Chain A
Amino acid sequence: MSDKPSDLVQGTLDMLILKTLALEPIHGYGISVRIEQMSKGVFRLNAGSLFLAIQRLERDGLIDGEWKSTENNRRARYYTLTAKGRKRLDSETREWGRQVAAIGRILEAS
């Protein structure tokens, strides 16, 4: 049905999560839904890789987690981007753009 996200390079997954959080702080399930939506179904994360990435990002200080209540009055952990995370997102995005352009040039060469 879709590419398994485990095919995603670890760094790329991190980048996508950071981007998602840059738009708006959200909990873990929300991140998963958003990425699926924004990629139009190309990427569908499984819980394992998602939470592994979240743990990594949190321990590296790129995102902050906080317990809050959801709309349904349940408790969930909401994540926000830190300043360091924002900087990392910017640099990763730039780097990604460079790589994509380079690959594009190679593929278009005849």
Chain B
Amino acid sequence: MSLFRNFAAGLRSLFRKNQVDRELDEELGGYLEMEAAEKMNLGMSRKDALREVRLERGSLEVTRETLRAATWESVVETCWQDLRFAARILRKSPGFTIVAVLTLALGIGADTAIFSLVDRILLQPLPFAQPDQLVAITDWYPQGALVAMRANLHSMEVGAYWEGQELNLIGHGEPVRLYGTVVSANLFSLLGVRPEIGRTFSADEDQPGKDNLVILSHALWLQKFGGDANVIGHWVTLEGQARQIVGVMPTGFQLASATHSTPMRRSTPVQFWVPLHLDPRVVGAYWGSNFMPVIGRLHPGVTLEQAHSEVRAYIPQMRGMFPWKMPESLWASSTVIPLQEGLVGSVSMKLLLLFGATVFVLMIACVNVANLLLARSVTRQKEIAMRAALGAGRWRIYQQLLTESLVLATGGAAFGLLLAVNGLRWLKRILPADTPQLASVSMNWRVMAFTAGIALFTGLVYGTFPALHASRIDINESLKTGSQRSTVLTHRLRSGLAVAEVALGIVLVIAAGLLVKSLWELSQVNPGFRSDSVLTARITPNQSFCADFSRCLSFYSALLDRTRGVPGVEDAAVVNVLPLSGRINAFAGDLEDHPRDPKDPAPVISETIITPDYLRLMGIPLLRGREFTSGDMRPDAPPVALVTASTARKFWPNQNPIGKHLKRAWKSQWTTTVVGVTGDVNEYSLASRLPSFADGAAYVPYGNGAGAGVPRPAEMTLVVRATNNFSNLTQEVRNVVSNLNADVPVTEIRTLGTVVSESVDTPRSTMWLFSAFALLALILGALGIYGVFSHYVTERTHEIGIRVALGAKSNDILKLVVGHGLKLTLIGTSIGVMCAVGFTRFLSSLLYAVTPTDPLTFVIVSFVLTCVALIASYIPARRAARVDPLVALRYE
């Protein structure tokens, strides 16, 4: 009850201030009158009574203030007072306020944007039921291993999925190629996700005969099926197989995994889910291909360690289940980890690096604002002294100065949020598409709380020290001398802060510089082929189309013929995988005269299936021997291959590779003859020619080598070298294909140049990010140094006036100021370089052909920053040099 009373009384006092004041006055006044009357009754003369009463009245003023101060609403009032005053005083110096708020906005905005990424990707639990029970088994496992684990592991229920399944959808408008995921039937229930309509797969629906089902993604459902809820139960033909639609997943559901998706490949959103086809009789698929990541849900009461031990104990058994011998090193270091870690893994390091960068930027911003405040407090000495003389306690002054800092912080936070919202949009565009949960990153209340928190924190950090310092002034000193100069301590402090800024800036700009150089190095890599003027398109008939291979062969022959007939086309060829496209086709093979122990794993050779014109079209040189001819493309022609120069060098050093043989590891006879050597091509990435598991690369002709085990893919990529405008060409190609066969989708139409450039999307986006931060740091640093020197010059105006009056030329003044600037900059640069040497090692995984201590970068960055700092100090220096001594000497 008293709480309510207190509250009500306080409110009344706040909102009916005048009335409450009058009442108080009346009450206290009445007290005095009664007291005077009493004294007169006791015999005092009226004059004496009134005098005593007047003395009492003096203390009554204090009484009034004491009464007011003892209430909760007075705290509110003083805060409100401070706020209004702070706003007024900040308005009076707009330059300072704008610079300070802008500085804070940049720092806080950057932090907020990155934090929303960190929050969604690293901190939020996965959007599945009871996510702390979910685990992932590292490494990849074939179908047979999955089935074995499902049956024999007691600590958890396991499921698996394979991303990157592509199926043609025929019969719903133009034929399209869909991208989806193959899942074990229990995967959805294991994760605990519910569909939007329909159902998910039941436990046994990944067996042959029961697996002709499909679940659609929300986007696909809207796009191709009109969002019609009756689609459940309908049948669609995917890749020639009829499947029944049983469910539609909610919007945005993905099992995106940065660690599991094929690196280098731009991942596309998942459009469908189909069950695995677990058939032990098809040994090749069951044990040999499409190794999958496995996830599990721990049974209640089971710990991660227990699951881990069980899996590790079971692995040797699983290894033995293969129909052929697998190396002992398989799964040797597999572990069980929490699912969050498994999905996020590789991204977390980068994200934390990024967050670290933003913290740097925020620190720089704080240093700047602290500097500015410190400088301002010097010019406000008189005002503060006046307040103290009028009776403000030290704490009250401190409170008021801190309020100003907090007002700045609030302004900074507000603008920072605005910047962050826009920055987030930009970030989502440039970050790689397979960043987990990228689509659901947003500004939610947690992020805003973070913003408010760091605004408050930074406000206290940069506000406290200047406020404490300013409130500690000696009243006498300040009022007497009337001069507003900073003490030696303040000077040192500000110089120290400027040095710190230069150092911090150097670290960030060096980091960005290293990344820029790295990207430049990547762009200079010769991928081994000519990427100008070539259009590529994936042609993807159903795999069953090639069951009758001659039909397939004649389709592609006709396609090439007709394409060559399109005006403007110089050349056309097909290839199974484009270089730098993120896809790779490889086999375990044996090479003649390169014996190995049967226990050792066979070398892995990347195999590119081409038509004869391919090499010429792509500008890949033939170094020895001959190219393929149309004769090689006949099924009955002897299997031939071309090897790349480095493959030949590796396996047949100092020998003539022409005429050597190679074969699949599981074949008993030498099947394929090498007929030529080509130049090296970057198949995998600009940074590394082949993936780490491949030992060599070879080309084989399309249609050849069935006896040698060369696959006959139905889907091939068409490459066309043309001279004319590509938008026409795109339509022409589509026409050619649909005229040949209306059920063949044409997808991923892009120029070869685009393919190459997209292959460095990730390093490029990282570079842009760091560059953005470096730019921020540069701007903030320059602003800060300018601020410091501006005040430095202002303070020394008097002194400069004296010097000029005594005969100093403007050059001397310039030298004085810029000399000081140079000294600080050099100190800052040295410190910064030393720190950079320590920190850039964390970037080494992101760099290509650039060492973390690349001297060129360090030198250039140091030079550039020194110049920027000097310019920032030169501008106030010029002002100093033009000082009129008469004015200056009067200037206090």
| Given A27-B30, A28-B31, A29-B34; A46-B59 close (CB under 8 Å) | yes
Interface size class of A (residues with CB under 8 A): 20 to 34
A58, B6: Cα distance in complex, Å: 9
- B residues 1-58 near A (Cβ < 8 Å) are 1-2, 5-6, 9, 23, 26-28, 30-31, 33-35, 38, 56
Say how far B51's CB is from chain A's closest CB, in angstroms: 17
Is there contact, CB below 8 Å, between B67 and A51? yes
Please, which residues of chain A bring their CB within 8 A of the CB of B550?
Answer: none
Interface check A97, CB cutoff 8 A: no
Is there contact, CB below 8 Å, between A47 and B30? no
A84, B59: Cα distance in complex, Å: 32
> Which of A55, A58, A67 counts the most chain B CB atoms within 10 A?
A55
A sample of 8 inter-chain contacts (CB < 8 A) reads: A47-B28, A48-B62, A52-B67, A55-B70, A59-B71, A61-B5, A75-B30, A76-B30
Is there contact, CB below 8 Å, between A61 and B1? yes
| Given A33-B38, A55-B67, A56-B70; A28-B27 close (CB under 8 Å) | yes
Residues of A that sit less than 8 Å from B by CB: 27-29, 32-33, 46-48, 51-52, 55-56, 58-61, 67, 70, 74-77, 84
For the A-B complex with A29-B34, A47-B59, A51-B63 known, give 10 more contacts whose Cβ atoms are closer than 8 Å: A29-B30, A33-B38, A48-B63, A51-B67, A52-B67, A55-B71, A59-B5, A59-B9, A67-B23, A75-B30
Interface check B66, CB cutoff 8 A: yes
Is there contact, CB below 8 Å, between B5 and A47? no
Interface check B388, CB cutoff 8 A: no
Is there contact, CB below 8 Å, between A75 and B5? no
**Majority secondary structure of chain A interface residues (helix, strand, loop or mixed):** helix
Say how far A59's CB is from chain B's closest CB, in angstroms: 5
**Closest A-chain residue to B62, C-beta based?**
A48
Say how far B67's CB is from chain A's closest CB, in angstroms: 6
Shortest 5 CB-CB contacts between residues of A and residues of B: A29-B34, A61-B2, A48-B63, A60-B2, A59-B6
A61, B9: Cα distance in complex, Å: 11
Interface check B60, CB cutoff 8 A: yes
Please, which residues of chain B bring their CB within 8 A of the CB of A60?
Answer: 2, 5-6
Is there contact, CB below 8 Å, between A77 and B27? yes
Residues of B that sit less than 8 Å from A by CB: 1-2, 5-6, 9, 23, 26-28, 30-31, 33-35, 38, 56, 59-60, 62-63, 66-67, 70-71
**Closest A-chain residue to B60, C-beta based?**
A47
A66, B62: Cα distance in complex, Å: 24
**Majority secondary structure of chain B interface residues (helix, strand, loop or mixed):** helix
Is there contact, CB below 8 Å, between B63 and A47? yes
A61, B35: Cα distance in complex, Å: 27
Please, which residues of chain A bring their CB within 8 A of the CB of B31?
Answer: 28-29, 32, 47
**Closest A-chain residue to B24, C-beta based?**
A51
Say how far A87's CB is from chain B's closest CB, in angstroms: 12
Say how far A60's CB is from chain B's closest CB, in angstroms: 4
**Closest A-chain residue to B65, C-beta based?**
A48
Please, which residues of chain A bring their CB within 8 A of the CB of B62?
Answer: 48
A48, B6: Cα distance in complex, Å: 20
Please, which residues of chain A bring their CB within 8 A of the CB of B33?
Answer: 74
Say how far A44's CB is from chain B's closest CB, in angstroms: 12
A48, B56: Cα distance in complex, Å: 10
**Closest B-chain residue to A61, C-beta based?**
B2
Please, which residues of chain A bring their CB within 8 A of the CB of B9?
Answer: 58-59
Is there contact, CB below 8 Å, between B26 and A75? yes
Say how far B493's CB is from chain A's closest CB, in angstroms: 43
**Closest B-chain residue to A48, C-beta based?**
B63
A65, B834: Cα distance in complex, Å: 72
**Closest A-chain residue to B34, C-beta based?**
A29
A59, B70: Cα distance in complex, Å: 11
A28, B30: Cα distance in complex, Å: 9
Say how far A29's CB is from chain B's closest CB, in angstroms: 4
Say how far B60's CB is from chain A's closest CB, in angstroms: 6
A4, B258: Cα distance in complex, Å: 78
Please, which residues of chain A bring their CB within 8 A of the CB of B56?
Answer: 47
A47, B59: Cα distance in complex, Å: 8
Please, which residues of chain A bring their CB within 8 A of the CB of B30?
Answer: 27-29, 70, 74-76
| Given A29-B31, A47-B31, A58-B9; A84-B1 close (CB under 8 Å) | yes
**Closest A-chain residue to B4, C-beta based?**
A61
A46, B38: Cα distance in complex, Å: 15
Say how far B30's CB is from chain A's closest CB, in angstroms: 5
Please, which residues of chain A bring their CB within 8 A of the CB of B71?
Answer: 55, 59
Say how far A82's CB is from chain B's closest CB, in angstroms: 10
Is there contact, CB below 8 Å, between B28 and A51? yes
B5, B59, B60, B70: the one contacting A52 at CB < 8 Å is B70
Is there contact, CB below 8 Å, between B66 and A48? yes
Please, which residues of chain A bring their CB within 8 A of the CB of B26?
Answer: 75
A60, B7: Cα distance in complex, Å: 10
A29, B63: Cα distance in complex, Å: 15
Say how far B508's CB is from chain A's closest CB, in angstroms: 55
Please, which residues of chain B bring their CB within 8 A of the CB of A59?
Answer: 2, 5-6, 9, 71
Say how far A74's CB is from chain B's closest CB, in angstroms: 6
Please, which residues of chain A bring their CB within 8 A of the CB of B2?
Answer: 59-61
Please, which residues of chain B bring their CB within 8 A of the CB of A67?
Answer: 23
**Closest A-chain residue to B35, C-beta based?**
A29
**Closest A-chain residue to B63, C-beta based?**
A48
Say how far A46's CB is from chain B's closest CB, in angstroms: 7
Please, which residues of chain B bring their CB within 8 A of the CB of A32?
Answer: 31
Say how far A65's CB is from chain B's closest CB, in angstroms: 9
Say how far A49's CB is from chain B's closest CB, in angstroms: 9
Say how far B70's CB is from chain A's closest CB, in angstroms: 6
Say how far B37's CB is from chain A's closest CB, in angstroms: 8
